[in-house]
Copies of this chain bind each other. A is one copy, B any other.
Amino acid sequence: MAWDKKDLLGLEYLSAEEILTVLDTARAFSEVSTRAIKKVPALRGKTVVNLFYEASTRTRASFELAEKRLSADIINMNVSTSSVTKGETLLDTVRNLCAYKIDVIVIRHAMSGAPIYLARNIECSVVNAGDGMHEHPTQALLDIYTLREKLGDLRGRRIVIVGDIAHSRVARSNIWGLTKLGAQVTVVGPSTLIPREIEQMGVRVQHNLDEALRDADAVNMLRIQREREKLTLFPSLREYAILFGLNRTRMQGLPDKLIVMHPGPINRGVELSGSVADGPNSVILEQVTNSLAVRMAVLFLVTGGTSLHPEHMSA
6 additional A-B residue pairs with CB within 8 Å, beyond A49-B61, A55-B85, A61-B97: A37-B45, A57-B77, A61-B100, A87-B267, A88-B265, A100-B291
Interface of chain A residues 234 through 288 with chain B (CB within 8 A): 264-268, 285-286, 288
**Contact partner, A65, options B73, B87, B268, Cβ 8 Å:** B73
Residue of B nearest to A84 (CB): B57
Task: Tell me if A129 is interfacial: C-beta within 8 Å of chain B.
Answer: no
Q: Is the CB of B55 within 8 A of A45?
A: no
Are the CB atoms of A57 and B44 closer together than 8 Å?
no
Q: How many residues of A contact B (CB 8 A)?
A: 56
- Identify A87's interface contact among B55, B57, B69, B226, CB under 8 A: B226
Docked Cα-Cα span, A35 to B46, in Å, equals 10
The reply to whether A101 and B289 form a contact with Cβ atoms under 8 Å apart is yes
Would you call B47 and A87 a contact (CB within 8 A)?
no
A-B interface, 5 closest residue pairs, ranked by CB to CB distance from nearest: A37-B45, A88-B265, A99-B288, A57-B82, A33-B101
Report how far A34 CA is from B285 CA in the complex, Å: 40
Q: Chain B residues near A65 (CB, 8 Å)?
A: 47, 73, 75, 100, 102
CA distance A92 to B97 in the complex (A): 34
When C-beta atoms are compared, the residue in chain B nearest to A304 turns out to be: B36
When distances are taken between beta carbons in the complex, the residues of chain B under 8 Å from A158 are none
Residues of B contacting A143 with CB < 8 Å?
none
Task: Tell me the complex Cα distance, A89–B268, Å.
Answer: 8
Q: What sequence of 0s and 1s flags, for each residue 69-98 of chain A, a beta carbon within 8 Å of any chain B beta carbon? A: 100010101100111011111001101110
- Determine the chain B residues whose CB is within 8 A of the CB of A264 once the complex forms: 83, 88, 92, 96
Between A77, A226, A285, the greatest number of chain B beta carbons within 10 A of the residue's beta carbon is seen for A285
Q: Does A308 contact B (CB under 8 A)?
A: no
CB nearest neighbor in B for A223: B86
Q: Nearest Cβ in chain B — how far from A262, in angstroms?
A: 10
